[in-house]
Amino acid sequence: MDRGDKILLRIMVVDDDEMVRHSTCRLLKSYPDIEVVCEGADGAEAVTKAKGYRPDVILMDITMPTMNGLEATRIIKREIPSIQIIVVSGQDALREALSAGASG
91 vs 59, which has greater pLDDT? 59
- pLDDT for 91 equals 59
What percent of the chain is predicted at pLDDT more than 90? Answer: 72
Distances (CA, A) of 48 to 1, 40, 91: 22, 9, 24
- The widest CA-to-CA distance across the chain, in whole angstroms, is 40
Q: pLDDT band at residue 46, thresholds of 50, 70 and 90? A: very high
Q: Which domains does the chain have, with CATH numbers?
A: 2-100 (3.40.50.2300)
Is the per-residue pLDDT at 104 higher than 70?
no
pLDDT in tens, 60-86: 998 899 999 999 999 999 999 999 999
Task: Kindly state the average pLDDT of the residues 78-103.
Answer: 80
SS (H, E, C) 20-60: HHHHHHHHHHCCCCEEEEEEECCHHHHHHHHHHHCCCEEEE
Strand, helix or coil for residue 74: helix
In degrees, rounded to 5, the angle at the alpha carbon of residue 50 between the alpha carbons of residues 45 and 51 is 105
The confidence score (pLDDT) of residue 94 equals: 66
